[in-house]
Amino acid sequence: MVLQERTQTILTAVLGVIALGLMLFLLYIQVTAYQETRQAIGEEIAAIKEVEVRLAELKRLAQQAEELEGRKASLDRLIPLQPEEDQLIEEIKEMAVTSGVRFLEVRFEEPVDKEGYIEMPLEMAFEGRYHDLLLLLAALEEGPRALRLDEIKVSHAGGCAAEIKADLDATVFYRVQKSGKERIARRDKDETQAM
């Protein structure tokens, strides 16, 4: 019986040591898993911060893209892809009426091909009072279409003594839509000339 008690005590002690070892092993596994989880959480927090920075940059770029699209639309209006003579004439007529000037005529001359755009010279004739003609010139300067005044000839109008006739030589512009091959050839030519 003493032997049996001793065996039982040893067996209990061995089982206790095994249970303690098993608990320590499980505790080690839990601590390791906890550390790995904390490290993963830290990495995820860093990744989230990185994504937030990228998101803020993308939002800024999206806002900038909207602003650039607005500018591009404005520039497209200043120098369109087509001559748009009819629309130009209507705009000039409207500016003349708004300024209190009579629009007499407009004549388009032969377009001049420049690098990346075309100049379209035109002659315009107006009659009105001096102050009203100045208002027209200001309206042409601030108009929706890029316009360069090359020459202004002022003479006495045939009617009222206070009225004068203004012949304007001006130039408007429109862009040339070139294919990709033409742009590359032009760039290569420019690079060759630069050397």
Position 189 in a domain? no
pLDDT of 56-107, one tens digit each? 999 998 888 888 888 888 777 888 888 889 999 999 999 999 999 999 999 9
In a shared domain, residues 64 and 106: no
Inter-CA distances, 31 with 23, 45, 122, Å: 12, 21, 85
> Using CA atoms, how far apart are residues 16 and 22, in angstroms rounded to an integer?
10
User: For residue 15, what pLDDT is reported?
Assistant: 86
Position 108 in a domain? yes
User: For residue 183, what pLDDT is reported?
Assistant: 45
> Using CA atoms, how far apart are residues 9 and 28, in angstroms rounded to an integer?
28
User: For residue 124, what pLDDT is reported?
Assistant: 95
Say how many Å lie between the first and final Cα of the chain, rounded: 109
Domain boundary among 33, 62, 78: 78
pLDDT at 135 over 80: yes
* Whether 164 contacts 157, CB under 8 Å: yes
Q: What share of the chain is helix, strand, coil (3-state, %, to 5)?
A: 60, 25, 15
> Using CA atoms, how far apart are residues 68 and 179, in angstroms rounded to an integer?
23
User: For residue 72, what pLDDT is reported?
Assistant: 80
| Domain that residue 115 falls in | 85-180
Q: What mean pLDDT is predicted for residues 17-33?
A: 89
> Using CA atoms, how far apart are residues 99 and 143, in angstroms rounded to an integer?
13
Domain count, the chain: 2
pTM value?
0.58
In a shared domain, residues 167 and 120: yes
User: For residue 185, what pLDDT is reported?
Assistant: 53
Position 195 in a domain? no
Tell me the β-bridge partners of 165.
127, 155
pLDDT averaged over the chain? Answer: 85
In a shared domain, residues 98 and 123: yes
In a shared domain, residues 72 and 94: no
